[in-house]
Amino acid sequence: MLRPYYLKWIYFRLHPEARPKHWQDSWGYPNVPLEQAATLVEPASGLDFLFLPMTDWHARLQRPHHLARALAAAGHRCFYLNPNVGREYPQPSLFSSPRIAKLQERVYEVHVPLFREPVFHHRLLH
C-alpha cells in the first residue's frame, strides 16, 4: 500500500530546499557501511553506551549530547542511534544500508533505514 510518507522521495526531488537541514547534516561526517565499522570505530578502552534519543544529533543540543561527550571524554565509546529511522537517507530505504558515522572521538552515530517507516499515530506505542 502506498502511504503519503513514501511520496517524500518525489517531493524532495522536486523541492530540495524543503529537505530538513539536520537530515543533510547527518552525512557531513566520515561514515562507512555498518559491516566496515571496524575501519572507523576506535577499539574499546572503556564501556560502550548506546543512546536511543528522541532528537536527532544534528537538530538541537540536548542532555544526551552532553552525556555522550562526557562519557567519550572519560574513555568510553558512545553510539547514538539516529532517531529518523532512515528518513535522513538521501534515497529510499530499499537502496540504503545501515551506516555508522564518526561525530567526534569515541562518539558515533548509527543510521538504520527501516523498510517501512513507522506511523506512530496509527496505534498506541507499548
Give 101-117 pLDDT, tens digit per residue: 999 999 999 998 877 66
pLDDT surpasses 80 at 36: yes
For the residues 80-98, what does the mean pLDDT come to?
A: 81
According to the model, what pLDDT value does residue 5 have?
59
Instruction: Please give the model's pTM, rounded to 2 decimal places.
Output: 0.82
For the chain, the domains span 4-115
CA dihedral over 39, 52, 27, 120, signed as positive or negative:
positive
pLDDT band, residue 78 (cuts 50/70/90): very high
According to the model, what pLDDT value does residue 8 have?
72
pLDDT surpasses 80 at 57: yes
